[in-house]
Amino acid sequence: MTVSLCVREPYRVDGDRGFRFGVVAAAAVPTVGALAPVVSPDGAAAMGGHIDDTLGDRLRRYLADGIAIDDAVEALLGAADVATRRGRQLHGVGRTSRVAVTGRSCVAAADRDGDHYTAAGTHLPSEAALDAMVDRYTGAAFGDEPLAERLIDALTAAREVGIDSRRGDSDGSLTVGSAAVRVVTTESTDSRRFYNDLRVDASESPIADLETTYSAALLGYEQAVDAYGDPNPRRLPDDEN
């Protein structure tokens, strides 16, 4: 049902260490953005398979309490019965660790993890979609473009390969899907960057529509800054890979 990418990008501004956490996800059903992405100043995670709509809030609380994301995921999955646990996919990155778990009952599923990212999907036509998404992201990781833009671009690379065997363009029966991107930074700001939290809840071309929505949101943000000024002028972070 879902293909997703979670990333952590550390940086320094004026000597202070900060993090950007982000998730991008797409699914062959509506409203993936309401359930799958879990993002906070403490980490980023995404769910696939049998999604529990309470799992995200519980995971955020664990991370806020200082529990490492791999320990938090182990606790959450361990609290479920065996059948439920086997049907779940849960992956993500925290401040100090990462985790990717795919239950054995998840259909055509796979996951990937690297130093500062995890990726996963279910109902994949092939694992090439995950490889394409990871390759596109890592090729631009820590780049000058906003993280949300780079995440959407990585999702586009997966779409070009094919991300869901049930979609109409993959000889499947489902034609309406969804996509979402969310980025949270630990650097405190007084203004909200419109382009960091976007959803396309029901569309026959959700990833393309997410790209269009992002471009419009970025333009709207720039227009607002031009009209009213930016209360948080962007400071360039020191490189820290």
Domain assignment present for 218: yes
CATH number at residue 140: 3.60.20.10
Per the structure, the complete domain to which residue 217 belongs is given by: 2-228
Domain assignment present for 154: yes
Domain assignment present for 211: yes
Tell me what pLDDT residue 172 has. Answer: 60
Domain assignment present for 22: yes
* Number of domains composing the chain: 1
Tell me what pLDDT residue 162 has. Answer: 86
157 exposure class (CB count in 10 Å sphere: 0-12, 13-18, 19+): middle
Domain assignment present for 219: yes
pLDDT one-digit tens code per residue, 143-154:
999 999 999 999
Tell me what pLDDT residue 236 has. Answer: 46
Domain assignment present for 236: no
Tell me what pLDDT residue 229 has. Answer: 79
Buried b (16+ CB within 10 A) or exposed e, 161-183: bbbbbbbeeeeeebeebbbbbbb
- The pLDDT confidence band at residue 168, using thresholds 50, 70 and 90, is very low
Tell me what pLDDT residue 16 has. Answer: 83
Domain assignment present for 241: no
CB 41 within 8 A of CB 53: no
- SS3 state at 236: coil
Q: How far lies 114's CA from each of 5, 7, 86, 192, in Å?
A: 11, 9, 23, 29
Tell me what pLDDT residue 234 has. Answer: 54
Averaged pLDDT for residues 130-147: 95
Domain assignment present for 235: no
The helix (run of H) or strand (run of E) holding residue 13 is: strand 2-13
- The whole-model pTM stands at 0.90
